[in-house]
């Protein structure tokens, strides 16, 4: 009788090396004949090509009586040109699988275009027509105006949007453009005419100062020639309006309660001044701080208000840069019966970060922000979006690479110093909820003046 032996051994596990440093793709740069700066990112295998144009254009350029005209203009760029009716233009986009859209923010005008690689030249010509030759049909102007007025009513009805609107009205000086809705109010949008849109476009939209970004699989394409023949042939002059830092209100440090009788939840919106990407000491600490304070279910805010207390499904914090200056914001909803305690706890947590962070918190934040970058920028559209966003602020994606390098080297002291530089305990707080149930309790927190306003 023989004996069978099993000489199979436990397989050796492969060693997993830590991820190496990652750099943002490097573009080829070219200046078109009319001055547009072209950034081309060749990303093999990305056969839907993303094109972005970025034109610095502060909202302060809008005439005061028709604020919202920039948003209306952007929404109308693809609604007919000198060569094509709105229906014809839409059909041309659909036939080639082209997605085209435009928007404005406090820094400028952006146009987004995504197209299958083989149709890039035709798409660029349609982009040129949209930017250079829009006709703003009267019927479409009226439709966009009605749509925006309906949005304004919806924004009043939804607590997060209502809180955000009240926050900027409280935080910024009433004479500053930043204190008013970026897409206009009912009064200014209601006064808007087609001629206002035509005049704004003619005065402010042109190739001067524009950056064009293209990202995707560019092999076999003469990208520079395609852009020169389309966007590069656009000739127009425009009025350049410099931006300026928004002015904070002298009485910004207070609590505003937007009355919503019977509300079963309260929306909290808390903020103070923050840095832009050119901040003293660098921008690197601020994305990490946002994550550690309120960027995940394990962050400081949710650890107390969600996990320990059960008052919320989640509250988030973010440092939000503007072209000049910025904000540190924390927002989310809580159970109505926890409103007063939640406001007090939230402010205590935010103030407490000034005392410093643990090494575990720092490492979790640094690892998340730095090690997820390859995934965040894995597609052509994300690369193009990053480049266009930075271009509006006068930066390039070299900033993205250098910022990630700085993030990987951050220490707990770096984060605490950066936080204390901006967070001084002077909070602007907006609460959207039932004033009759919460006003006296919030006053009892001793956190500053409490004002009640109608919803």
166-221 tens-digit pLDDT = 999 999 999 999 999 999 999 999 999 999 999 999 999 999 999 999 999 999 99
Same fold: 28-233 with 255-454: yes
Strand partners, 270: 330, 429
- The DSSP line for 356-382 is ---HHHHHHHHHHHHHTHHHHT-SHHH
Identify the band that residue 128 occupies on the pLDDT scale cut at 50, 70 and 90.
very high
pLDDT of residue 104: 97
Into which CATH architecture does domain 28-233 fall? Answer: 2-Layer Sandwich (3.30)
Query: What percentage of the chain reaches a pLDDT higher than 90?
Result: 93
Q: Closest by alpha carbon to 58, among 235, 184, 240?
A: 240
pLDDT of residue 123: 98
Residue 5, pLDDT above cutoff 70: no
CATH homologous superfamily of 255-454 equals: Metalloenzyme, LuxS/M16 peptidase-like (3.30.830.10)
pLDDT digits (tens, 9 = 90+) for 409-450: 999 999 999 999 999 999 999 999 999 999 999 999 999 999
Residue 6, pLDDT above cutoff 60: no
pLDDT of residue 213: 98
pLDDT mean over 316-329: 97
pLDDT mean over 82-86: 94
Q: Could you tell me if 425 and 419 are in contact, meaning their C-beta atoms sit under 8 angstroms apart?
A: no
pLDDT of residue 9: 64
pLDDT mean over 353-380: 96
pLDDT of residue 2: 53
Strand partners, 450: 255
Residue 89, pLDDT above cutoff 70: yes
pLDDT digits (tens, 9 = 90+) for 256-269: 999 999 999 999 99
Query: What percentage of the chain reaches a pLDDT higher than 70?
Result: 98
Q: How far apart are CA 112 and CA 131, in angstroms?
A: 12
pLDDT mean over 40-56: 98
Domain residue ranges in the chain: 28-233, 255-454
pLDDT mean over 306-333: 97
Q: What sign for the dihedral angle of Cα 86, 88, 92, 94?
A: positive
Identify the band that residue 284 occupies on the pLDDT scale cut at 50, 70 and 90.
very high
Q: Could you tell me if 181 and 68 are in contact, meaning their C-beta atoms sit under 8 angstroms apart?
A: yes
pLDDT mean over 312-326: 96
Residue 243, pLDDT above cutoff 90: no
Across the chain, how many H-helices and E-strands are there?
17, 12
| pTM score of the predicted model | 0.93
Residue 12, pLDDT above cutoff 90: no
Mean pLDDT value across the chain: 96
Q: Do the bridges between strand 315-321 and strand 428-433 make them parallel or antiparallel, or are there none, so unpaired?
A: unpaired
């Amino acid at each position: 009788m023989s004996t069978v032996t099993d000489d199979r051994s436990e397989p050796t596990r492969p060693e997993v090396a830590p991820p190496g440093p990652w750099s943002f793709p490097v573009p080829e740069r070219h200046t078109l004949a009319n001055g547009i700066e072209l950034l081309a990112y060749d990303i093999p295998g990305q056969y839907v090509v993303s094109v972005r144009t970025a034109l610095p254009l502060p909202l302060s350029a809008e005439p005061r009586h028709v604020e919202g005209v920039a948003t209306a203009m952007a929404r109308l760029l693809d609604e007919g040109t000198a060569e094509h009716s709105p229906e014809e233009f839409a059909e041309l986009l659909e036939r080639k699988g082209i997605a085209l859209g435009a928007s404005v923010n406090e820094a400028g005008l952006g146009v987004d275009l995504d197209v299958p690689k083989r149709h890039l030249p035709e798409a660029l010509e349609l982009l040129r027509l949209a930017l250079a030759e829009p006709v703003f049909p009267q019927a479409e102007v009226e439709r966009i105006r009605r749509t925006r007025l309906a949005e304004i009513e919806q924004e009043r009805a939804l607590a997060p949007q209502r809180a955000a609107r009240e926050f900027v009205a409280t935080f910024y000086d009433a004479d500053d453009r930043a204190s008013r809705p970026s897409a206009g109010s009912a009064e200014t949008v209601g006064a808007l005419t087609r001629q206002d849109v035509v005049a704004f476009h003619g005065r402010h939209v042109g190739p001067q100062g524009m950056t064009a970004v293209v990202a995707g699989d560019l092999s076999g394409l003469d990208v520079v020639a395609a852009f020169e023949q389309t966007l590069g042939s656009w000739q127009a002059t425009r009025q350049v309006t410099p931006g300026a830092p928004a002015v904070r209100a002298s009485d910004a440090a207070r609590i505003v309660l937007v009355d919503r009788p019977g509300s079963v939840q309260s929306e909290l919106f808390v903020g103070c001044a923050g840095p832009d990407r050119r901040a003293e000491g660098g921008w690197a600490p601020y994305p990490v701080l946002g994550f550690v304070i309120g960027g995940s279910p394990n962050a400081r805010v949710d650890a107390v208000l969600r996990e320990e207390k059960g008052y919320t499904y989640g509250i988030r914090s973010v440092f939000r840069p503007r072209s000049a200056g910025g904000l540190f914001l924390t927002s989310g909803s809580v159970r109505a019966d926890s409103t007063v305690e939640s406001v007090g706890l939230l402010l205590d947590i935010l103030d407490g970060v000034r005392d410093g962070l643990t090494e575990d918190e720092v490492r979790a934040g640094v690892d998340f922000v730095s090690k997820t970058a390859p995934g965040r920028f894995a597609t052509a559209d994300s690369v193009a979006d990053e480049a266009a966003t930075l271009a509006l602020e006068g930066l390039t994606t070299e900033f993205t690479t250098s910022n990630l390098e700085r993030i990987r080297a951050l220490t707990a002291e770096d984060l605490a110093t950066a936080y204390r530089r901006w967070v001084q305990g002077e909070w602007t707080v907006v609460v959207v909820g039932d004033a009759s149930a919460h006003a006296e309790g919030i006053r009892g927190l001793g956190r500053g003046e409490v004002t009640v306003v109608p919803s």
